[in-house]
Amino acid sequence: MVHIVGAGPGDPDLITVKGQRLLSEADIVIYAGSLVNEEILKFCKPDAEIYNSAQMMLEEILHVITLAEKAGKTTVRLHTGDPSIYGAVQEQMNAMEARGIEFDVTPGVSSFLAAAASLKQEYTLPGVTQTVIITRRGGRTPVPDSESLKKLAQHQTTLCIFLSVSLLPEIKQDLMSAGFKSSTPVAVVYKASWPGEEKIIKGRLDTIVQQVKEANIDRTAMIIIGHCLNARKENQQKSNLYSPKFSHMFRQARF
Ligand code: SAH
């Protein structure tokens, strides 16, 4: 049996209870070494066989899994954050299906959520935006034309941009040409939740490129753009959820 597990964003305590249990029971662990915090391997059995997939091709990963299956062993395939977001996991699931290998998936805390926690920020503010777009900027890996940042940005939602911090100058251009003002707030969170390594940079579209350069951030960072970052405390429209005028399934209106 193979368990695909989301390791969470970096802090080893942010793996799910189920993920931790599966990891502690696994005979074989294949982890995405380029991004998973190796601290999390402390949950493995002392005699677990551990492989770093950063040095492996898809066929090699499948080979390790196939041998484990033949020997009746349990494998955990450990992905960073949540496997469903830029996890390159579909091709592995398809290959396992094709070979009749049984597997399941345990979700994880994605880095865009860890970044919100680090920023102490809600992405879906009433009266500001009710939508979050998760995307990346096209670079070496192309993005379909219909999903170019220029097009997505026109909705003026909260944007969480993965895998793109090295393309920040291009992102700025795209967003300005889509109508975002140079004063639009931007946050960059490097290694969100990693103990002792996290960096938070807050700025505006016209300052962020320089700020991120000065902080030497060129990888493992989440870019967050949108007016939600401006809507601090007092001047923010309250949600209906806690309003006395609003009834819902669990509470009657009081006025
Ligand atoms: N499946 C992962 C994403 C893998 S793609 C998830 O759900 O988070 C790798 C990209 O994710 C990085 O380039 C970066 O943009 C983002 N990322 C991963 N971990 C991060 C972290 N701790 N802090 C900020 N961004 C992170």
CATH architecture designation of domain 2-106: 3-Layer(aba) Sandwich (3.40)
221-225: strand order across its sheet = 132-136, 158-162, 221-225, 185-190, 199-204
Ligand 1 neighbourhood includes 191 CB (under 6 angstroms): yes
Distance (Å, whole) CA 51 – CA 58: 13
Ligand 1: centre distance to CA 160 (Å): 11
Distance (Å, whole) CA 188 – CA 197: 14
Q: Nearest CA to 28 among 57, 68, 79?
A: 68
Ligand 1: centre distance to CA 125 (Å): 23
Ligand 1: centre distance to CA 224 (Å): 12
Instruction: Check residue 240 and give its pLDDT.
Output: 74
Instruction: Check residue 236 and give its pLDDT.
Output: 60
Ligand 1, from 36, 111, 159: best to mutate by most atoms within 8 Å of Cβ? 111
Query: How many other β-carbons are positioned within 10 Å of the β-carbon of residue 224?
Result: 23
Ligand 1: centre distance to CA 10 (Å): 9
Instruction: Check residue 238 and give its pLDDT.
Output: 72
* Atom of ligand 1 minimally distant from the CA of 82: 7
Ligand 1 neighbourhood includes 118 CB (under 6 angstroms): no
Helix axes 58-70, 90-98, angle to 10 degrees: 40
Ligand 1, from 14, 39, 53, 80: best to mutate by most atoms within 8 Å of Cβ? 80
Ligand 1 neighbourhood includes 9 CB (under 6 angstroms): yes
Tokens of 200: 């938070």
Ligand 1 neighbourhood includes 115 CB (under 6 angstroms): yes
Provide the residue ranges of all domains of the chain, joining segments of one domain with +. 2-106, 111-230
Ligand 1: centre distance to CA 190 (Å): 9
CATH architecture designation of domain 111-230: 2-Layer Sandwich (3.30)
pLDDT tens for each residue of 72-124: 999 999 999 999 999 999 999 999 999 999 999 999 999 999 999 999 999 99
Q: 3-state DSSP call for residue 223?
A: strand
Ligand 1 atom 2: the closest Cα is on which residue?
81
Would strands 103-106 and 185-190 be described as parallel, antiparallel, or unpaired?
A: unpaired
Ligand 1 neighbourhood includes 31 CB (under 6 angstroms): no
Distance (Å, whole) CA 244 – CA 69: 57
Instruction: Give first-to-last CA distance, the chain, whole Å.
Output: 56
User: Which residue ranges of the chain lie beneath pLDDT 70?
Assistant: 233-237, 255
Q: Are 61 and 30 in contact (CB under 8 A)?
A: yes
Tokens of 51: 């492989």
Ligand 1 neighbourhood includes 135 CB (under 6 angstroms): no
Instruction: Check residue 29 and give its pLDDT.
Output: 98
